[in-house]
Amino acid sequence: MNTLRMNFKKPTWKAEYSLYAIFGYPLSHTFSPRMQNEAFKALGLNSYYIDIPIPPERFKKLVRSLKNSPLNGFNLTVPHKEIILKALDSVDPEARRMGAVNTVLVKSNGKRKKLIGYNTDAYGFSKALKKEAGFNVGGKSVLILGAGGAARACVYALLKEGARRVVIANRTVSKAKRLIRDFSKIKTPGKTKLSAIGKTPPLSLPEFDLIINSTSLGLKGSDPLPINLTKSPNQKSVLIFDLIYNPSRTKLLREASKRGYRTMNGLAMLLYQGARSFEIWTGKRAPINIMRKTLKDVGAG
């Protein structure tokens, strides 16, 4: 007969759970908590993902104490992807080259903790382009609007996949030039021509096969368009990719569709970057279909 012994003097029961978070500002638009929590549930993991909206000046102050938090891992979004680099013990070589980190794994070794940084945005970006739009970057001419952390991941992926030409258009042209300087040492299969401009017009849109919006213009309904869309003779073959996923159809995407351009929002990129983050944290294969369905449901409702 088995006997069940319980020792109340020495408690043996311990609540085991893992906690994850996303830091960003603003964060009201994020779908990551729903997507990650459904993925944890699907795999029966006692893990939870919360959102922590925190403005940049406060994040700067707490960034070095993140190691003392109860988090097992976290994501970074606008505008914390670059400042986090200061607080990391090690950085994955690709993320180091990009100069932006969106995923951190907290590795616990007894009492010591280490923060390891990764970037899953570039992977998410490439995978979304291929899987959702059947778009192959090799040999293509690309215009990217914005030069922040998200742009860094996109430019890195474009270089790696051999785009012929990448033009970075940013309000602050010095930032676009710095991005190019930082990336000039990366060896690319297609000898990509990189250039920076401060204003989008006058640009001839037909020169581009792919136009990406990585600026925050479009998050609010009252935002102006990040680029003037002219009609072009080959607009059916031009893809306009807005990295924003909430709202699902930004003014840019609506105007582009009206003019006959192919369009795509950032939902698929969110899915694939999130799946890769999940795998880094848990060491398990991400339940991609459940994550996709969750995003569809959240996006629709």
> Hey, which residues are catalytic here?
81
Q: Would you give the binding string for ligand ATR spanning residues 207-236, x where CB under 6 A is met? A: -------xxxx-------------------
Of 45, 78, 180, 225, the one binding ligand ATR (CB under 6 A) is 78
Of 29, 164, 175, 249, the one binding ligand ATR (CB under 6 A) is 175
**Which is nearer to ligand ATR, 113 or 178 (by Cβ)?**
178
Give the span between the Cα atoms of 17 and 66, in whole angstroms.
18
- Least Å distance, CB 49 to ligand ATR, is 20
**Which is nearer to ligand ATR, 25 or 135 (by Cβ)?**
25
Q: Is position 83 an interface residue for ligand ATR (rule: CB under 6 A)?
A: no
Give the span between the Cα atoms of 220 and 155, in whole angstroms.
25
Per CB under 6 A, the segment of 104-112, 122-130, 166-174, 261-269 that binds ligand ATR is 166-174
Of 33, 117, 124, 148, the one binding ligand ATR (CB under 6 A) is 148
Q: Is position 158 an interface residue for ligand ATR (rule: CB under 6 A)?
A: no
Ranges assigned E (strand) in 88-234: 90-91, 103-109, 112-118, 141-145, 165-169, 193-197, 210-213
Nearest to 261 by CA among 133, 162, 144: 133
Ranges assigned E (strand) in the chain: 18-24, 47-53, 73-76, 90-91, 103-109, 112-118, 141-145, 165-169, 193-197, 210-213, 239-242, 262-264
By beta carbon distance, the residue nearest ligand ATR is 148
Residues sharing a CB contact under 8 Å with residue 155, sequence separation 6 or more, in sequence order: 144, 166, 168, 179, 183, 194
Binding residues for ligand ATR, rule: CB under 6 A, are: 78-79, 81, 146-151, 170-172, 175, 214-217
